[in-house]
Amino acid sequence: VPAIDLKGVTKTYPGRDGKATHALGPVDLRIDPGSFVSVVGPSGCGKSTLLRLVAGLEMPDTGTMQRYGTPLEGPSHEVGIVFQEHVLFPWTSVLDNVLLPADVLALPKAAARERALKLLELTGLKDFAHQRPQALSGGMKQRAAFCRAMISDPRLLLLDEPFGALDALTREELSLELSRLWQELGRAALLITHDIEEAILLGDRVLIMSERPGTIRADITIDLPRP
Ligand code: ADP
Ligand code: ADP
C-alpha cells in the first residue's frame, strides 16, 4: 500500500473580508513507502498546505486522503514532522526535548530513552544530551529537531523547509547528512523546499507546483545515485 494516497484533494481558506483563497488542488498524489519526494514551487503555491494536510493538521474541503491504506484522520505516530524553525523548549535538556513526543504518544519510557540517545549519537549530539538547547548552534538545533521527529520511528517524515533558517554552509552539510541517513533508514519523506538543487539532491522524485490553481504541474523521477 502507498505511504500516502491523495485523490481530488482541495483546500480553500476563508478570507477575512469574504474573499476566500483557493490554496490547493485538486491534487492527486501517491507516495510509495521508502521514496523521498521533494516539492518545489513559488511562494504561495500551496506547498505548506499540502504538507499540513498530509500531517493531519488541516482538513481538506474535498477529496480522500489515505496514509498506509487507512483514512488519514489527524496526527499519527507513523509520521514525524520537522518545521523550518526548530521549536525546542529552552527550559529542559536536549534529551528531554527529543523525548517530548514519546510522552504524548505514550511510548515505553526506557525504549524511547535508548532510542533518543541512539539518534543523538547518530547526529553527533550525544555530548549535548544533558545540556540546554541554547548550548547548540542553529544546525545542531535542527539536528535535535530531526531526532525528535524520528523518536516514534515514523515510516514517513514530513520536512517543511528544514534548512530554510540556516546559513548556506550548514545547509549543505546538513542536507548531505540527511541524504546519507536516508539511505540507511529507507523511510518515505516529503520535503518542501525553495531550493531546486536541494530538491534534486535529496529526492527520488521532484514535484513542481504552480500558483493558481495550486496544483502539481510536473512530477519528475530522479534516478541519479545519492551523494
Ligand atoms: P511559506 O511561504 O514558507 O509557506 P508564508 O509566509 O507564506 O510561508 O506563511 C507562513 C504561515 O502563515 C503559513 O503556514 C500559513 O499558515 C499562514 N498564512 C499564509 N498566508 C496567510 C494568509 N493570507 N492569512 C492567514 N494566514 C496565512
Ligand atoms: P506555500 O507553502 O507554497 O508558500 P501555502 O500553502 O502557505 O503556500 O499557501 C497557499 C495559499 O494559501 C497562499 O495564497 C496563502 O496566502 C494561503 N494561506 C495559507 N495558509 C492560510 C491560512 N491559514 N489562512 C488563509 N490563507 C492561507
Measured from the CB, is residue 43 less than 6 Å from ligand 1? Answer: yes
What is residue 11's predicted lDDT score, i.e. its pLDDT? 97
What is residue 75's predicted lDDT score, i.e. its pLDDT? 74
Q: Among residues 49, 54, 68, which one has the least CA distance to residue 215? A: 49
Q: State the Cα–Cα distance between residues 75 and 214, nearest whole angstrom.
A: 24
> Cell for 2?
502507498
Name the closest-CA residue to atom 11, ligand 2.
23
Q: How far is the CA of 211 from the centre of ligand 2 (A)?
A: 10
Q: How far is the CA of 52 from the centre of ligand 1 (A)?
A: 12
Measured from the CB, is residue 19 less than 6 Å from ligand 1? Answer: no
One digit per residue, the tens of pLDDT, for the chain of length 227 reads: 999 999 999 999 998 788 899 999 899 999 999 999 999 999 999 999 999 999 999 999 999 999 999 999 877 888 999 988 878 999 999 999 999 989 888 889 999 999 999 999 999 999 999 999 999 999 999 999 999 999 999 999 999 999 988 888 888 888 888 888 888 888 899 999 989 999 999 999 999 999 878 999 999 999 887 77
If phi > 0 it is left, if psi is from -120 to 50 it is alpha, else beta; for residue 117 that is: alpha
The ligand minimizing its distance to the Cα of 54 is 2
> Cell for 52?
499540513
What is residue 130's predicted lDDT score, i.e. its pLDDT? 98
| Residue 138 CA neighbour count, 13 Å, CB half | 13
Residues with CB under 6 A from ligand 2: 13, 21, 23, 41, 43-49
> Measured from the CA of 209, which atom of ligand 2 is nearest?
3
**ipTM greater than cut 0.85:** no
